[in-house]
Amino acid sequence: MYSGRERRQRDGNWFTRGLGCLTQFIALAFILLLLYYGSYLLVRGPIPARPVAIAHRGDSAHAPENTLAAFQHAIDAGADWLEMDVQMSDDGHLVVIHDTTVDRTTNGSGRVADLTLAQLQALDAGNGEQIPSFAQVLALASAAGIPIMPEAKSPQLYPGLEMKIVEALAAAQYAEKAVVQSFDAASLARLYEIAPEQSLCALYGLGHFDLTGPQPGNATAVCPMAEMVLLYPWMLRQAHREGRAVYVWFGALEEYPWVIRLLLEFGADGVIADDARLVVAAWQSR
Angle between helices 257-266 and 276-284 in degrees, nearest 10:
60
Cα–Cα distance, 227 to 251 (Å, whole number) = 7
| 3-state DSSP assignment of residue 134 | helix
73 is catalytic: no
CA distances from residue 43 to 38, 240, 253, 275 in whole angstroms, order as listed = 9, 12, 26, 30
Cα–Cα distance, 208 to 225 (Å, whole number) = 8
| 3-state DSSP assignment of residue 48 | coil
* The dihedral formed by the CA atoms of 112, 147, 260 and 241, expressed in degrees to the nearest 10: 110
Cα–Cα distance, 244 to 227 (Å, whole number) = 19
Q: Catalytic residue, from 73, 93, 98, 240: name it.
A: 98
Cα–Cα distance, 108 to 181 (Å, whole number) = 27
Q: Catalytic residue, from 56, 73, 93, 240: name it.
A: 56
63, 125 contact by CB (below 8 A): no
Helix spans in the chain (H): 4-43, 68-76, 117-121, 134-144, 161-171, 185-194, 226-231, 234-241, 257-266, 276-284
Cα–Cα distance, 161 to 119 (Å, whole number) = 19
56 is catalytic: yes
168, 148 contact by CB (below 8 A): no
* The dihedral formed by the CA atoms of 112, 131, 98 and 225, expressed in degrees to the nearest 10: 170
Catalytic residue annotation: 56, 98
